[in-house]
Each structure stands twice: as C-alpha cells, then as structure tokens.
A and B are shown apart, each in its own frame.
Chain A
C-alpha cells in the first residue's frame, strides 16, 4: 500500500479559497472515480424499473421527428433543403435532445443531490457535469438510429463528417456551460428549475430544429448564431446530409459563445459554490 509514501496533502480552508483557482483540475482528477460513478448511477437508475429501458433514449427524438414530419413537413410544407423532412429534422433532433435533456437534468441536479452537498465534500462541479456526460449514452443510441436512417434514405455523408466529434464537443461545452449557470442559480432561486423546462422548449424555436437557417435573413444570421446550437445543428446537417456548405461563420460565432458560456458558467458556479450547503 502506497499510503506511507504518499505525500500528506495539506488543505487550507478560508473564505478566499475559491478565488485561488477557477477549476481545480488536480482535485477533480483525484475525485475521478466519484465522477464516473455518478455518471454511471445517472445512467443505471434512469431506466430502472421501466419496461422500455434504454428504449426511452430513442423514443423522444423519434416521436418528435414523426410529429414534426407530419405537422411541419407534410402540412406546413417547411423547406427541408432537398432531403426528406424526417431525416432533416431528425438530424437536428439528435443533438437538440441531448442539449435539452442535459440542461433540464443539470438544472435539477443540485437540488436532487442536496443530501450529498450537505453531508460530504467533493468538487461541486461534478454535479452539473455528470448529467451532461450521462446523456452522451442516449446521444450515442439516437445517433445510431440516424446512421440507420441515412442508409435507408440513401443519404451520403460528406467528408466533413470527420468534423462531427468537434460538433459533439461544442454541444457538450454549451450544455455544460448553460447547465452550470442554471444549476448554480437553481439552488437559490427555485424558479429557475421550474422555468428551465419551459425555457428550453422555447429555445428550440430559436434553433434550426424544425426549419433551416436559410429562412433567417442573411444580416441576422450572425446574431442568430449566438445560440451555439445553431452552428452545431447546421454543422451536423452540412456534414451528414450535405444539404448546405459547411457553416463556418455560424460555427465560429457558436464556438466563441460556447467557450464563453462554459467559462462564465464555471466562474459563476465557483463563486456560488460556497453557499450551496447553506441555502440548499
């Protein structure tokens, strides 16, 4: 056992503690097992005692796709840029569902973990980030369905499909960033938790899920792209469906915003963290 060789670590607690480091990576590394277990608990308990189990990961985007295809594709005849509307909307629904479910579960994560927060110490950042990682499983499953649909419809991906991992990282950064904001706010203001679902629903209309970005007037597109999910969704479409050229401008703005959300979220979270146990 390496205990004896281990350096005795020194911990200093004072009110200025948090100002020293934005994110204490070393500490997060120390608690990596906890992090993995929380992600794993999230996945394992989410579908416990349910009949469909992991099937729920597919149902949400697939059923949304069916409804959207009927309402917006067939009835409202929204332009789907040359591919069947179903795959057009599903390509957006896969990242969108990841984003929206991560946000709603992050915003309730701290309150749900109240028992933990008031009784043991661990890096609090683990709490909003664990659900974001947990949802990647659902994302992976619904992404497989997307690949199946591409085969079925005979849609060929472009060379930019190699960029998909980058989009995924952007999507996760955004979800984690906004998630940290919502989490830190929700522990003090419960309204945030109630409002989060609604806010996320509205946000869908501010993202190109049911329509294409091309219907937004050219001069407003950069403004529109302040929502990082715009770049991500259009990136998915450009890479996998080839419906448009790679939206570098949207992605650039989106990436800047995603990083801004992530950093400001982490900063705000860290500044509020010291109060969590007292106001939870």
Chain B
C-alpha cells in the first residue's frame, strides 16, 4: 500500500458566474438589443467554457471567481479529515474535484484507491422504480458492482428499516423513507477513500445516530475519509485532523481541535445550536436579562441544520427583573450578507395590554416548514419597548443552515431564487 492516499498539489478552480444584463431604456435600443441578442447569447454561452479570449471579450472579467486557489495537502491512508469553512469557502468544490465531478483549472490530484463520494444521498433515485430497483441503480451509480450489491442487499435493506416497502415504487415513499434507503446504500460502499458532504444531517435523530455509528465504523476499518460539515460536534468526534478553507485558500491544516477553535473564533456569530450566558456575561439591561437562545427540532434536539420541510423552534430564555411596560421581543431572519429576510415580533403584551411581571420566561417562535430556502440564515434578535426605550439592542446571535436533501423527489431540488422558498399551492383549471 502506498504511503499517501490523497495528494493535492497547487490545486485551483476557476468558475464563471452569471452575467449582469444591462438595462435599455429607449425603444430603438430595445429593438437593436433584441436583434443582436442571439449573437450576445452565443458569446455569453460560449464564454461559460472559455477563459482566455480576445481582448474585447475580457471585459467580463469580473464574472470569474476563484473557488479554490493554490491548495496543497497530503493525506495518509486511514486518516479522517474534517474540512471546515464558511459557505462559499470552497469546501464543496474541493470535494467535487476529488470525486471527479468537476475538473480543476490548475494543479494535480493523485488518489490511491477507489473513491466514493456521498455528496448528496439518493443520487439517481428514480421515482417510478421500486426500492429494490433503486438500490441497484443507486449502488452502481455510486460505483458498486452488481455482485457487490447482491451480496450486501439484505444488509442494506435491514439498515434502512423499510424492508416492507422494498418492492413499492419510490414515488410512494415519504421523503424520510427515501432518504433512509439512499443513505443505507451509501453507507455500504467499501471504497478506500470516502468523501462525505453533510449527509449526516438527513433523517430523524435516531437514524442520524445510526449513521454516525456507521461512519465511525468506516473510519475504524482504516479507510481514508474526507468529511465536510458545518456540524462541529460531528467533525470533532469523527476527525483527527482538520483543514480550514477561507475564500478558496487553505488557511490552516492542523489537528481538528485547533482548526475548529480557529474557525469558531473567526466567526462573529455562533455556529452552535444553543447559546447560554451566565448572569455576568448575558446581554442585559437593568429590567431584563437574556440568558439563552436555542434552535430545537421537533424531536427536541438542539441543532444548526434543519431539513427544508422539517420546521423548528427558536427558544429564547430571559428573565424580567423589573416589571416592563410594552415589552416587545423582535426576531429577524437575515442572510449571511445581513439583509433581512423577514421579521417577526412577540408583542402580545402590547396588544393585550398587560405588563410582564418579573420572573423567568421562555419565548418560543415556531418556524414553519417549507418557507425558508436552501441556504444559511442568521438569527437576529433584540428587546425593546416601542416608543419608550431599547432594552437589549438587536444582534445576530445564531446561524442556521436549511438544507434540502429531497433531491430527486421534486422536479427542482435545492435553492430557488430569492431569500425564501415557500411551498405554494398551485392549481391549474382549464378555462
């Protein structure tokens, strides 16, 4: 066996992103625009795969972004490495290059051993096919041979816990069932090198625990694992070494605790699902103390990543020291660029005309499922007494990742345009 499992040498990846459209405001311009648009469209589309061109085409240089810049590292067989960094730091791009989905612009990667990637579970699931058929299809897509699947079939079905429905077309599955079956297939791969991107956040708590166990088992078997996650707890418990990516640059390569600490200290908001303060450090005013905030799933688990269709609660624990008139708690969901997506208020006191008495309180905001988009939000909150005074000024406290792993069950999965992604009841009537 060779001494190195993965060797990455000055790896860079450049992307072209979308193009701004110039607005035209006279009719003549609109018409000439319309006539020349096929030519412009052609240039634009051709440029998607082109980087060096004639001078006049370089005008659109700003639309090139470097997702990775000059990354080098080596991983020995059997190492379990956590890759951490903000959204857009290049973690997923790195995994996509290692799994040969996309090609690097410069640099070389050498992989010793069979590579399997769990970038998203359920890839290639076809709704019309039965669970059994999909196990075979998905397994071969992930690189297993038919004999291998034959051998492991019972084990895969057992692990998923849906053996009763194995001959039912997947389109009749709940999305949870589909994900469990898909994960189960993925968990039974036996590659020398395993690349994992956030799949541990699928399914219910019990299934996640089972999945984590499986991952640990895989790493104990001496396989090389590269694990991308926002779940610092999982990274810490699974990985021995960490790579920190910041804006496409590898800024730290060290033992996992050091890397996580560095990462957390660079963030201005917490990446944990819960913040608690002692009375001394708590944000406070003389009438009010904010003791804690947490994000809780419907199973009562504190998390930072939620499925798009799961919904969750934000619980805010505070103490009223002196009776407050017109207390209002305001909560905003913001993008990572700090743009407000929506705001919501707990102002029952003002509406119903009573004063909140001294004591300990927990305010619970139920965030409904199927409203947030597949992206990261920041939770901003504060307390005031409208028209009277600011009690605790608003601040971004927590970060929450909303993800959609229902891939393949809906026509268009993932992030939609815009900051929210509500499920809209569409109806078409023939008129």
Contacts and interface: CB of A to CB of B under 8 A. Distances in A.
Given A37-B140, A41-B129, A119-B120, A10 B110 contact: yes
A226 to B, nearest CB: 27
A48 B172 CA distance: 14
Nearest to A188: B45
Given A9-B114, A44-B129, A278 B408 contact: no
B128 A45 contact: yes
B119 interface: yes
B145 A120 contact: no
Given A45-B128, A118-B101, A120-B119, A14 B49 contact: no
Interface stretch (B92-100, B384-392, B419-427): B92-100
Nearest to B108: A14
Interface residues of A, number: 37
Interface residues of B, number: 52
Contacts of A277: 96, 101-102
Interface string A16-55: 0110000000000001011001100100110011000000
B115 to A, nearest CB: 7
B141 A14 contact: no
A189 B45 contact: yes
Contacts of A45: 126, 128-129
A13 B141 contact: no
Interface string B56-86: 0000000000000000000000000000000
A278 B100 contact: no
Interface in B6-22: 15-16
A14 B109 contact: yes
B111 A11 contact: yes
A33 B140 contact: yes
A122 interface: yes
Given A11-B100, A11-B115, A13-B97, A188 B48 contact: yes
Contact of B123 (A8, A9, A120): A120
Contacts of A116: 123-124, 141
A117 B112 contact: no
A279 B110 contact: no
Nearest to B42: A189
B107 A14 contact: yes
B58 to A, nearest CB: 19
A34 B106 contact: no
B273 to A, nearest CB: 27
Nearest to A278: B102
A17 B129 contact: no
A274 B103 CA distance: 6
Interface pairs A-B: 6 shortest CB-CB:
A121-B100, A274-B103, A13-B109, A48-B128, A34-B140, A14-B108
